[in-house]
Structure 1
């Protein structure tokens, strides 16, 4: 997620100063993507330069408050309206790791898959317990946090299914190579294991 768009969305709610923006961003996303104050103020400086935010003055404690300009509000509305562009999604390190592993001689791909599955299942259990700790009707901030946690749960479940698929496909390729004498790392069906772009959240 773009920090730029996230800060603009928060400022559409109300004017805020830098540390307040950081706190609100982390509270509403469950602390999944922590920010430091330096990131926030660097982004605010660029948004100010681009005419999307404006300084509204200092509060009683000398903290500079920022608000949206008309252009900034239009940018937020555009972001709400447009789907997320998956072409710009960061590459998935796990998919790349496994795609390379099947092409490097001597790498035990099954062992990599099993170790990753164990770690992902552990994360899935932790996330499920975290979700279960929420009681009662959530307020807006709690609802935002729950949505992020549920996204991570769905991502972990998807990753486990994909790892099962990888293990089965690698096993099939190994069996074929035993019959044909071919290098399983060079087979097209093994090279197709991993998408270029991220398909799940860790």
Structure 2
């Protein structure tokens, strides 16, 4: 998630100070990626260092406002116009966990998959309920549309994760070692009749 460009997008609409930026960012994304004020001001400092934003006065309470510069607006337009690259996919903790689990002796990988599926199904139900609430609230603001788009992305992502977990179970079944056949029972040795003792007649 590009916090840097998200803040630039907000500042492109007018000067704001740190707490305003945090509140508006979370409102537009449904607090999916919560920010703290320290993170906002750290990012603002880097944007100012790079010439993308500049201080724009203070209010009566001492809040320092920031505004996007022309260079910042050009950077923002470039971000909007450039597809998000997939050459360096973000690290996925679940994929890493399963990759490690199949190589570590003693880990019940199927139990890991089933536990994650239960969690993902619960998350999908929660996202779907939130989408229903968003659709029936009648909100017509741009921020409502922004939240709905983020929510639907989470739904599609979770549905894909559940399908992938189903695939993992199938793949694990293919690699499950076949049970070794029981060794054949040894053939019983033929019974040897006891030797008959001959009677000696005198």
Pairing partner for 1:164 from 149, 153, 166 = 166
* SS of alignment partner, residue 86 of structure 1: coil
CA distance in 2, matches of 1:104, 1:138: 51
Report the Cα offset of residue 85 of structure 1: 1.8
Report how many aligned residue pairs link the two structures. 179
Q: Which runs of 4+ in 1 moved over 3 A?
A: none
Give the C-alpha shift of residue 137 in structure 1. Answer: 4.7
User: 1:14 offset after TM fit, Å?
Assistant: 1.5
Helix, strand or coil: the match of 1:178?
Answer: coil
Task: Look up the match of 2:102.
Answer: 102
TM-score w.r.t. length of structure 2: 0.85
| Aligned equivalents of 1:95, 1:180: Cα separation in 2 | 31
CA shift, 1:96, in A, is: 0.6
1:158 counterpart SS class: helix
Higher helix share: 1
Post-superposition offset of 1:4: 0.8
Aligned position for 2:23: 23
Structure 2 counterpart of 1:76: 76
Q: What aligned pairs does 1:13-92 form with structure 2 within 5 A after superposition?
A: 13-92=13-92
Give the Å deviation of 1:180: 8.8
Partner of 1:152: 154
Higher alpha-carbon Rg: 2
Structure 2 segments unaligned to the other structure (5+ residues)? 182-202
Deviations 1:33-57 (A, max 9, x none): 0000001011111111111100011
CA distance in 2 between counterparts of 1:78 and 1:53 reads: 16
State the alpha-carbon separation in 2 of the partners of residues 118 and 46 from structure 1. Answer: 41
Aligned twin of 1:143: 145
